[in-house]
Structure 1
Amino acid sequence: MRTLLFLAAALTAGLFLGSRINAFLSISIKEKDLGDSVSAASKDLPPLPFRMVDLGGVGIEADAQAWGKDYSHNTRRFDSVFLSGEPFVDTAGADRVFSQFREYADRMSALGFNAIEFQAFLELVDFDTLGGGSDVYPEGGVERKRHEALRKFYSRFFEYAHGKGLRVILSTDMVALTPALKRYLSGLPGGMDVESPEFWSVYSEGLSELFETMPLVDGLMIRIGEAGPLYNRKGWDYTSELMVRSVASVKEMLVSLTKTAEAHGKYIIFRTWSVGIGEIGGMHTDPAVYERILGGIYSDNLIISTKLTKGDFWNSVPYNPTLYSGRHKRIVELQARREFEAFNVIPNYIGPDYGDALRGFIERNPNIVGVWVWTQAGGPIRQGPMMIYPFTGHWLWTDANVFASAMIAAHPGEPVEKWTREWVRNTFGGGNEVEDGLTELLTLSHGTAVKGLTIPQFARKEVTGVGMEIPPVIYSYWDLMESSTSVMSLVYKASRGELQDAVRDGFAAVSEVRKMKEILASVEGRIEKGREWIPGMEASLDYEENLFSTLAWHKKFSLGFYEWLDKGGDEREREWKASAEEYKKAKAEHMERYQGSLDFPAYNFVMADNGVAQAGRTGYTVWASRALLLVLVLFAAFVIRKGRDAGSGLGTPLFLSVFTFGMLEAFTSFGAPVFVLTTGVPALIYFLGLRFTVFGSRGGFAYSLLPVLALLGLVLAVTSVRGPYYFWYNVWTSGIFRTALASSAVILLLAHFYLVYSYAHGKLGAWRLTGRMLFLTGSLAALYGLVFIVFGLDRTLGRLNDEILMMPVMVSRVLGFSTHLDFLVVINETAVKAGAVLASAGLF
């Protein structure tokens, strides 16, 4: 009866948890609605009154030694100007960057911009009105001296900006912190409770002080969706933390800060950019979530700023639906230096799309009041080309987008082609042939970039999982080539009915680049001015051709490999292997020509190469899996035949340990030493601990492990078909497989613990057995969790992911698991705490 009850409970638990795990990992693939109608030009549309631009490349050093080695999102603007000690600002450096600023401000003002954004806030605030006036920063302290120097530094920038008709908007991430401010906030009655009015009253006091001491500041822009180490400046006390993650915290923040802005006749500009999962995760793209969070908050002094697309500045996504409605004043964010399209170092003219989008927003939403154009900002600027607008590098193509964006905002009713031709005339002169030719080149450029850098058949699908939409540009995110099993399995599945088109498009992009080269060559001799740009234009097109050729071969390999995983077949296997060799040749040429280049840097193919190498070892892993499965079956048969007395000596735990390491090696394609160690060592500890602390010399040890062996056998049976990638392909694409695997794992692990109890409790007694099992499992859980705490969750998971290629490379190597999958932090902390509690309980 006890066994029957256990079986019923195990089956119930297994099926329930299996279905929950499957639901959590389930993926939705559907066609995107990209049918936004092209809005016809209309002379009746008035200029947008608020036309803001970022600070461009002002104060960003062209440091060749540091470029190309940094995925940080901090611009490190004014790095060589701001000093760690007194006088805090380098005078000569300040003069140099102010000269840059004047040139830039003159240029932006001439284009019709009337506002400019500076990244600063806490650096200018002393919190004098809190308590006794020195509760945050002591009188005479280093922070106050630094703030005074920085206020003086920025004041002449603000004065010059106002003189050129540019309103001054400061920007900050929230929650913005310094060590002293964090101590003060932690000492509040509710501590750092971002849903508390008392918490935000501190920032309101600081904002009020800012508006009074620096009256030329016209407003503050706030971002809550990105913060933390990736965005903080090393050695700089002014940091941020990602804490505003609930509806209540957003409302408290905006109500408090907007009241302060109203009192001073200033603006709060709130960016809807929200990243990750949770109750505010959809604010940026879902009109219903937007309305639920922001609908009850309104002020003439509150402006909502939103990226123009449903997502990041990605291609192949609809325009942002939240911009079509709402009663708030709205500004649309536009990116001129397109970070997801080779950082715009290739021809990539986005003017027609921006014109279409803005006209559509304006026609449907009368509250669209302006734009914010990013000329430099976005992504890891030092990992891309050393292009600092408009001072260093090949910023020509970005300039075309800046000009078009400015003209569209000031004249939304005019046809975009008018501004395209005007930019060509202003930049190159020449007659109609030059104008017609380069206008055609620009018009072709964006579609070609999209075709070359993405897999359009995937990009046109809406693919969502774990509460987030998978970026359509994820195949080549910034300069990172994707090769993870999770992404490439879904890319293949989404493109499965159009594989030949996907491969053809990759090579078609190369042909289109060659056409653009022909256009440039046909008009080059007639260009009258701006001839200094011609070598860079030619080099840019050469770079684009080479890059797209490399990607075309990688696409053909990847899609062919996953088609073989899905369908098998000797011919398919030969094709993907041949494509892999062509990719290797193309990549080698790419690295030879562009590795180390600052203007046209080589792409990061590290993960792609790892994927190709692991795919090449598939044959070995298949035969290794089959051999291991045979050994496992023979061992299990031996145990079953011998009964509970089987494996009572030392040979069984040693055999199981060796077998586990061998299986892990095969499962990771013989290329994941860290993963093998961090997984195999805990398994070894468990086997030995179970043998010596629970069973001792008593029988039943090997027999209790039969369910575990059965689970390993299931995995080996799958990898014996077409290798470990076949296993992962089914995990990511088959709900039936996920449910069956997860349910089987739960049932078999419960069966293992049941057998341990059945065979060991008679000698030890239930109390002692429970204590020893709690100590063993709890110690392992705490130890495993501590590894991630000591070495860092993101760093450790990133290293493991580099080896097993399970999650997207842009998450593992750049943004961090804790940013997008913050529940992993909770799981890790819970493992340590719960493990320590269980281990401690086991001692009593």
Structure 2
Amino acid sequence: MEIYLIDAIGPFFRNYKKRNINWSKIPFHSFFGKPGKTRLLFNTVRSDLDLFCGRVKKVGYNCVSFDDVSHLAPDPWMEPEVNQAICDLQKEYRELFAICKKHGLGIYLTMDILSLTPGVQKKIGGRRKRANQFLKRQVTTILASFPEISGIIFRIGECDGKDVKGIFKSELFLRTSAQVNRMLHDLLPLFEKHQSHLILRNWTVGAHPIGDFNWHRGTTARVLKNIQSPWFILSMKFGETDFFRYLPLNKHFFRIPVKKIIELQARREYEGCGEFPSFVGFDYHKYQQELLSAPNMVGISVWCQTGGWMPFRRLSYLDPEAIWNEINSFVTLKIFKENMTVSQAVKAMAREINCAQPEMLLELLSLSDQVVKELLYTPELAERKLFFRRVRVPAQVSVFWNNIFINHSVRKLMRALVGNGKECVEAGYDALTRINRMKELTRELGFRVEDIEYMADTFGLLALAREYYFLPYSEEVKYRIKMAKKEYKRKYPRGSRPRYRIKTNFSPFTMHSRHLRWLLLILLRDKRGYRVLDHLLILHLLAYSMRFLFFLRPKILPKFIRDSAMGIETIFR
């Protein structure tokens, strides 16, 4: 392998005031086109980036990634004030790139296909030929203006979330495998000329026919048809869905002959983002061993900061509190770059942080792995392979980002999908007892005990929620949940450390359990391939019906589901 890439967006979030943060992209809207704010921000970004680059280089990473092409590529179709702001930002980024080069790090820029201003959107006018011309000009401008960069990372299957503000807004422009293939053939000669990498991410959220790119053989084959350039790399998350546990390695790694990198997440967006330890070493070592037989693996892409919408704000390699994410980043690199075992990698980390008890550290991390897998996930459900339309169903249902859902509809859904609820409750409380040992180890090792206490308080709610989900209903359990939620909010008031949001609603969900099971049998499948039913009903007719329903009754779903990320309606496109 030759690429050991880590994201470098952390420095841009220093002193960012918004409570719930979109960690998917640098918050350009807060400074773009505002010269005073830009200068003030970049004074801090430069010093933080210098620290960040020095630390990740010492660990062994050799490349960093930044957002993004759109804010660095002026164009005749853009508004004059936008082009001026881009030129100002280019000067700031040149200084950032000089810092990276000083530390011997390669540089990659990210890019959504496509990000448009209102002026560009008007010029394009919905014509694909004009959009392709604009895209090609952007890439040409970047490769010519910044010869120091190593390449561009393209995101085609996800766009800006609903909360993203500012002059640029990305949209899902490429909707079919043929369109993506055509784009690659158009752009690759530019990258070959400049000897830069075109890295295509196959991640999608299920929208449009390209939505199954990250798992469907036929779609992938059509996207990569006749792509043979040495400057092309396919970037894939380790599983067939997002960064969840309990996922087998994506079979595409072994089937596809082109160069590939694997995406791995150290700051676990679905597992607390480093507010408590959530160790990934054992899972990632398993993947690494399997990938030894995969052709043309050329690197890894580790996310130490990127991903998710939540208030957790520890900055990896900048804040001492981000130690759990840094342990994950370090161990991941050592496993993939130096072929270390988990034990060897943890011992190396112990030396790095002057920890005199590496065996205790390994025990602590191992326990965190076990507790997270048991309580943040419901193992019986997480291990099931379920697909809905073009997406593999996430391995978490009752917990998502920093939200814990304790309500009657989730109760019915969990009871429909999990066979032995009583065992699930017992296993949850058994896992909870292991946190006591984690506290002991943390004290002896000199780490932040309050992180483990926070983990115990949060996971205690998860164990209690299982009683409500799986045991016969009782007012006593309902009362205990209400009291536990009240105590959790008292202990972690707004303005203190960020906390999970406990969303309770005990109002009856009117659908009968039997009817819910029938509905799930229709909507969900346990195989990757589409059923006749999917072609006749789920992929098209259901999609049109749901989009019409959302149009007529936009508030039919809870605000969290409507407004998070790209919105639930995206998967029905």
TM-score (norm 1): 0.62
Tell me: CA distance 1:392–1:230, structure 2 relative to 1, closer, same or farther (3 Å).
farther
Alpha-carbon separation, structure 2, partners of 1:137 and 1:347 = 45
Tell me: CA distance 1:204–1:460, structure 2 relative to 1, closer, same or farther (3 Å).
same
Alpha-carbon separation, structure 2, partners of 1:215 and 1:478 = 38
Tell me, which stretches of 5 or more residues in structure 1 are unaligned?
Answer: 1-47, 128-133, 525-530, 561-571, 616-723, 740-784, 804-808, 823-844
470-479 vs 277-286, greater mean Cα deviation: 277-286
Q: Does 1:394 align with 2:321?
A: yes
Q: Secondary structure at 2:13's aligned position in 1?
A: coil
Q: Residues 55 and 118 of structure 1 are in contact (CA less than 8 Å); yes or no, is this contact kept in structure 2? A: yes
Q: 2:453 pairs with 542, 552, 561, which one?
A: 542
Q: Residues 550 and 586 of structure 1 are in contact (CA less than 8 Å); yes or no, is this contact kept in structure 2? A: yes
Q: 1:365 pairs with 294, 308, 329, which one?
A: 294
Q: 2:44 pairs with 96, 102, 127, which one?
A: 96
Partner residue in 2 for 1:192 = 127
Task: List aligned pairs for 1:319-334, cutoff 5 A.
Answer: 319-334=249-264
Tell me: CA distance 1:320–1:487, structure 2 relative to 1, closer, same or farther (3 Å).
farther
Q: Residues 416 and 513 of structure 2 are in contact (CA less than 8 Å); yes or no, is this contact kept in structure 1? A: no
Q: Residues 74 and 231 of structure 1 are in contact (CA less than 8 Å); yes or no, is this contact kept in structure 2? A: no
Q: Deviations over 1:306-352 (max 9, x none)?
A: 11122100011212221122111101111110011122211111122
Q: Does 1:732 align with 2:519?
A: no
Q: Secondary structure at 1:553's aligned position in 2?
A: helix
Q: Does 1:119 align with 2:49?
A: no
Amino acid at match of 1:511: T
- Considering fraction of residues, name the structure with more strand: 2
Tell me: CA distance 1:385–1:229, structure 2 relative to 1, closer, same or farther (3 Å).
closer
Aligned length: 551
Amino acid at match of 2:93: Y
Amino acid at match of 1:301: W
Deviation at 1:397, TM superposition (A): 0.6
Q: 1:340 pairs with 247, 250, 270, which one?
A: 270
Partner residue in 1 for 2:489 = 591
Tell me: CA distance 1:57–1:734, structure 2 relative to 1, closer, same or farther (3 Å).
same
Partner residue in 1 for 2:246 = 316
Q: 1:800 pairs with 547, 556, 565, which one?
A: 556
Alpha-carbon separation, structure 1, partners of 2:67 and 2:7 = 9
Tell me: CA distance 1:813–1:326, structure 2 relative to 1, closer, same or farther (3 Å).
closer
Q: Secondary structure at 1:171's aligned position in 2?
A: strand
Partner residue in 1 for 2:237 = 307
Q: Residues 220 and 269 of structure 1 are in contact (CA less than 8 Å); yes or no, is this contact kept in structure 2? A: yes
Tell me: CA distance 1:422–1:472, structure 2 relative to 1, closer, same or farther (3 Å).
same
Q: Secondary structure at 1:595's aligned position in 2?
A: coil
Alpha-carbon separation, structure 2, partners of 1:372 and 1:231 = 26
Q: 1:426 pairs with 345, 352, 361, which one?
A: 352
Tell me: CA distance 1:261–1:486, structure 2 relative to 1, closer, same or farther (3 Å).
farther
Partner residue in 1 for 2:379 = 456
- Considering fraction of residues, name the structure with more helix: 1
Partner residue in 2 for 1:247 = 177
Q: 1:223 pairs with 141, 146, 155, which one?
A: 155
Q: Does 1:60 align with 2:9?
A: no
512-521 vs 810-819, greater mean Cα deviation: 810-819
Amino acid at match of 1:170: L
Deviation at 1:578, TM superposition (A): 2.6
Deviation at 1:735, TM superposition (A): 5.6
Tell me: CA distance 1:408–1:801, structure 2 relative to 1, closer, same or farther (3 Å).
same
Q: Secondary structure at 2:5's aligned position in 1?
A: strand
Alpha-carbon separation, structure 1, partners of 2:456 and 2:415 = 24
Partner residue in 2 for 1:673 = none
Q: Residues 56 and 317 of structure 2 are in contact (CA less than 8 Å); yes or no, is this contact kept in structure 1? A: no
Q: Residues 424 and 439 of structure 1 are in contact (CA less than 8 Å); yes or no, is this contact kept in structure 2? A: no
Amino acid at match of 2:570: T
Tell me, which stretches of 5 or more residues in structure 2 are unaligned?
Answer: 524-546
Q: Does 1:379 align with 2:308?
A: yes
Q: Does 1:260 align with 2:190?
A: yes
Partner residue in 2 for 1:633 = none
Deviation at 1:500, TM superposition (A): 1.5
Q: 1:605 pairs with 473, 485, 502, which one?
A: 502
Q: Secondary structure at 2:302's aligned position in 1?
A: strand
Alpha-carbon separation, structure 2, partners of 1:95 and 1:310 = 40
Q: Secondary structure at 2:556's aligned position in 1?
A: helix
Alpha-carbon separation, structure 2, partners of 1:256 and 1:332 = 25
443-452 vs 272-281, greater mean Cα deviation: 272-281
Q: Secondary structure at 1:332's aligned position in 2?
A: strand
Q: Secondary structure at 2:257's aligned position in 1?
A: coil
Q: Secondary structure at 1:224's aligned position in 2?
A: strand
Amino acid at match of 2:486: A
Q: Calculate percent identity across the aligned residue pairs.
A: 23
Alpha-carbon separation, structure 2, partners of 1:291 and 1:577 = 55
Deviation at 1:146, TM superposition (A): 1.6
Amino acid at match of 1:206: Q
Tell me: CA distance 1:56–1:351, structure 2 relative to 1, closer, same or farther (3 Å).
farther
163-172 vs 281-290, greater mean Cα deviation: 281-290
Q: Deviations over 1:542-564 (max 9, x none)?
A: 1111111111111110223xxxx
Alpha-carbon separation, structure 1, partners of 2:159 and 2:180 = 15
Alpha-carbon separation, structure 1, partners of 2:197 and 2:520 = 53
Q: Residues 218 and 267 of structure 1 are in contact (CA less than 8 Å); yes or no, is this contact kept in structure 2? A: yes
Partner residue in 2 for 1:349 = 279
Amino acid at match of 1:800: I
Q: 2:412 pairs with 489, 492, 503, which one?
A: 489
Deviation at 1:77, TM superposition (A): 4.3
Alpha-carbon separation, structure 1, partners of 2:198 and 2:267 = 26
Q: Secondary structure at 1:347's aligned position in 2?
A: coil
Alpha-carbon separation, structure 1, partners of 2:277 and 2:263 = 21
Tell me: CA distance 1:199–1:56, structure 2 relative to 1, closer, same or farther (3 Å).
closer
Deviation at 1:482, TM superposition (A): 2.9
Tell me: CA distance 1:463–1:149, structure 2 relative to 1, closer, same or farther (3 Å).
same
Alpha-carbon separation, structure 1, partners of 2:345 and 2:274 = 19
Task: List aligned pairs for 1:791-830, cutoff 5 A.
Answer: 797=554, 799-802=555-558, 810=561, 813-822=564-573
Tell me: CA distance 1:79–1:816, structure 2 relative to 1, closer, same or farther (3 Å).
closer
Alpha-carbon separation, structure 2, partners of 1:580 and 1:732 = 23
Alpha-carbon separation, structure 2, partners of 1:78 and 1:137 = 17
Tell me: CA distance 1:213–1:292, structure 2 relative to 1, closer, same or farther (3 Å).
closer
Deviation at 1:495, TM superposition (A): 1.4
Alpha-carbon separation, structure 2, partners of 1:384 and 1:487 = 24
Partner residue in 2 for 1:556 = 467
Partner residue in 2 for 1:504 = 426
Amino acid at match of 1:515: R
Q: Residues 51 and 318 of structure 2 are in contact (CA less than 8 Å); yes or no, is this contact kept in structure 1? A: no
Q: Residues 174 and 243 of structure 1 are in contact (CA less than 8 Å); yes or no, is this contact kept in structure 2? A: yes
Deviation at 1:56, TM superposition (A): 4.3
Alpha-carbon separation, structure 2, partners of 1:357 and 1:485 = 37
Q: 1:84 pairs with 33, 54, 68, which one?
A: 33
Q: Residues 337 and 377 of structure 1 are in contact (CA less than 8 Å); yes or no, is this contact kept in structure 2? A: yes
Q: Secondary structure at 1:505's aligned position in 2?
A: helix
Amino acid at match of 1:273: W
TM-score (norm 2): 0.89
Amino acid at match of 1:816: G
Q: Residues 279 and 369 of structure 2 are in contact (CA less than 8 Å); yes or no, is this contact kept in structure 1? A: yes
Q: Does 1:438 align with 2:361?
A: yes
Q: Does 1:171 align with 2:82?
A: no
Deviation at 1:470, TM superposition (A): 2.1
Q: Secondary structure at 2:353's aligned position in 1?
A: helix
273-282 vs 471-480, greater mean Cα deviation: 273-282
Tell me: CA distance 1:810–1:559, structure 2 relative to 1, closer, same or farther (3 Å).
farther
Tell me: CA distance 1:240–1:467, structure 2 relative to 1, closer, same or farther (3 Å).
closer
Tell me: CA distance 1:787–1:88, structure 2 relative to 1, closer, same or farther (3 Å).
farther
Partner residue in 2 for 1:150 = 89
Amino acid at match of 1:469: R
Tell me: CA distance 1:594–1:149, structure 2 relative to 1, closer, same or farther (3 Å).
same
Please identify the structure whose Cα radius of gyration is greater. 1
